[in-house]
Amino acid sequence: MDISLTINSEDRRISIQAGETLLEVLRRLGYAGVKHGCEDGSCGVCTVLLDGQVVHSCILLAVQVEGHDITTIEGIGTYDHPHPLQTAFVEAGAVQCGYCTPAMILVAKALLDENPHPDEAEVRETLSGVLCRCTGYLKPVEAVLRVAQGGD
Amino acid sequence: MWSSLVEYQRPQRLDHALRLLERQKPRSVPLAGGAWLVAQRDQSIEAVVDLSALNLTFIKTSARRLRLGAMTTLQTMAQDSVIQNLAGGLLRDASNRYAPRSVRNVATIGGTIVVGNPTSEVCLALLVLDALVIIRKPTEYVVPLDAFFVNPTMHLPSSGLITEIEIPRPSASVGATIAEVSRTPNDQPIVNAAALVSRVGHICRTARLALGGIASHPIRLPDIEAAISLHKIDESVLTQAADAISSSINPPSDARTSSEYRRKMAGIVVARALRQAWEQTERE
């Protein structure tokens, strides 16, 4: 079946199968920043923004988001023009293996879009939705707080 | 990939949805948010009927009751101002405990009830709020949530749909809370309980208690409720209630903990929830 949707501000018409998840379709289309993890909505590495709200793309059928607006990590910054959160993650040393980093940045972006100055507890609650086995969360929390506090 | 799935429907009318669900071939099931259903990848399912275009996302309020559309998400419930003021925010708190946000954004109240997870805080809260489940099959059918949990397939045939949850408004002066134990603060609960009490003077007028983590679904505790009602709630009453619960259940062991631990803690979390709810009424 064919569906229309918007991916990173680009209107797309794509062919999908009924049983394909949004995660599988995005990766097939080349959005490799969306990671494939647990497939049951536990680990959070497949997080994307659906109409600006965080969702796990592994537990959504692609057809469910027909007509909606999807944002992946590829849509919020580039190598030459990184998003402030991406810069902060690099500067704080908040990236280790990097597998969960796109998801961490997306959940942080959704938080800051809704609440530009969260406190540390709100940042921790938000990042807890993404499982990270390397960083211990300390530096990712620090990176998000840097952006939230407007410093550098 | 949900490889057995060959058909997807998004009807705009309830009667159309019910007709699609009646089909044996392809075997069809309702799709709410998908947080649970899509994760299962159940290979016996061939078609899903997406409920998102049926206008079942609403919170309607009147003086005596709240009506929540079955497709209302847990995040909406966590943020709604009416739910925030209902029974001291019990249902708001329960919705918020379903983490993380990315799952609350898609998980629905109807789906949460159908899944009936043994430690679902939302189900515990709805149980002590005396929630009613409104089902269309296709005639309207109303069943209290506690009765629904005892035999879900009898109340909700495969061709039926939960369309609404109705919550009678408790009086403004009730105390209500959830207590739980888990291995870490972010892990799923081992056992948990909700309590809702109202008082007259020093006496507990009504007590409603629900317990999670000891059976295949959360349960109400009518015998304990009856034993407490019209008494003063003090430490000896709480100890008796905890002992009565622990001695009357035989919960399973699993990877998280043993049957013995569950049995002991079940009584303790109910007593904790009850004590905290009672203390809230003292502050009124």
Domain coordinates in residue numbering, chain B = 7-50, 59-168, 175-282
pLDDT at B67: 98
- Reported as a pLDDT band with limits 50, 70 and 90, residue A151 is low
Compute the C-alpha angle B114/B143/B50, nearest 5°. Answer: 35
At residue B68, the pLDDT reads 98
Q: How far is B23 from chain A (nearest CA, A)?
A: 18
pLDDT at A87 over 90: yes
Q: Chain A contact for B99, CB < 8 A? A: yes
Kindly give the pairing relationship between strand B47-50 and strand B7-9: parallel
Over residues A41-54, the mean pLDDT reads 97
Q: Measured between CB atoms, does A83 come within 8 Å of chain B? A: no
Binary contact (B6, A19; C-beta < 8 A) = yes
> Is a pLDDT exceeding 90 seen at residue B187?
no
Question: What are the phi and psi torsion angles at B272 (to 5°)?
Answer: -65, -45
pLDDT digits over B21-44, tens only? Answer: 999 999 999 999 999 999 999 999
Whether the predicted pLDDT of B186 surpasses 80: no
Which architecture, in CATH terms, is B59-168?
A: 2-Layer Sandwich (3.30)
Is a pLDDT exceeding 50 seen at residue A128?
yes
Interval B47-77: pLDDT, tens = 999 999 999 999 999 999 999 999 999 999 9
Report the pLDDT value the prediction gives residue B283, as an integer from 0 to 100: 72
pLDDT in tens, A96-119: 999 999 999 999 999 999 999 999
A6 phi, psi to nearest 5 deg: -110, 125
- As a whole number, mean pLDDT of residues A30-49 equals 96
Residue B165's nearest CA partner among B91, B63, B75 is B91
Phi, psi of A11 (to 5 degrees): -75, 125
CB contact at 8 A, A69 and A124: no
8 Å CB contact of B48 and A61: yes
pLDDT at B173: 86
Rounded mean pLDDT, B78-98? 95
pLDDT at A152 over 50: no
Q: Is residue B241 within 8 Å of B227, Cβ to Cβ?
A: yes
Query: A116: burial class by Cβ within 10 Å (0-12, 13-18, 19+)?
Result: exposed
Q: Is the ipTM of this complex over 0.90?
A: yes
Neighbours of B165 (CB within 10 A): 23
- Give me the mean pLDDT over the A20-24 stretch: 98
Q: Domains of chain A (ranges plus CATH)?
A: 2-75 (3.10.20.30), 84-148 (1.10.150.120)
Indicate the pLDDT class of residue B192, thresholds 50, 70 and 90: very high
**Which residue, chain included where needed, has tokens 């009318």?**
B13
Grouping H, G, I as helix, E, B as strand and the rest as coil, residue B73 is: strand
pTM for this entry:
0.96
Fold matches, B59-168 and B175-282: no
Candidates A57, A59, A63, A113: best to mutate against B (most CBs of B within 10 A) is A59
Q: What is the pLDDT of residues B138-166, one digit of tens each?
A: 999 999 999 999 999 999 998 899 999 99
pLDDT tens string B193-231: 999 999 998 999 999 999 999 999 999 999 999 999 999
> CB of A2 within 8 Å of any CB in chain B?
no
Q: Which CATH number fits domain B7-50: 3.40.50, 3.30.43, 3.30.40, 3.30.70?
A: 3.30.43
Selecting from 3.40.50.720, 3.30.390.50, 3.40.1190.20, 3.40.50.300, what CATH number does the domain B175-282 have?
3.30.390.50
**Statement: residue B184 has pLDDT above 90:** no
Distance CA A120, CA A117 (A): 10
CA distance B129 to B123: 10
